[in-house]
Amino acid sequence: MKLSVCLLLVTLALCCYQANAEFCPALVSELLDFFFISEPLFKLSLAKFDAPPEAVAAKLGVKRCTDQMSLQKRSLIAEVLVKILKKCSV
């Protein structure tokens, strides 16, 4: 539950900040990839951001945690995040 709240708050901060009226399509893709693709594929998708190895390792650590959640729970969280993104882009 705590992880879901953190993800929700980060998404709200990124999407609904007043100076950024539109969200980046890469954000949506990255969020959905985070919940639904395998770790090796997700690591490849992170390569496009050219993040430091420590950041990638930290992100993969969180992904390992969320991968332990049932697919149904991950789907619900992703659905809420997409709704937030849609609402922020209006």
pLDDT digit string, tens, across residues 7-56: 666 666 666 555 555 667 777 888 889 999 999 999 998 898 899 999 99
Q: Which tokens is 18 given?
A: 């007043």
Q: Say what the pLDDT of residue 40 is.
A: 95
Question: HSE (CB half, 13 Å, CA atoms) of 5?
Answer: 2
Structural domains present in the chain: 22-89 (1.10.210.10)
The reply to whether the predicted model has a pTM over 0.85 is no
Give the DSSP per-residue string, 33-80: HHHHS-HHHHHHHHGGGT--HHHHHHHHHHHHHHHTS-HHHHHHHHHH
Which residue has 């993104």 as its token pair? Answer: 85
Which residue has 């496009």 as its token pair? Answer: 48
Q: Say what the pLDDT of residue 89 is.
A: 64
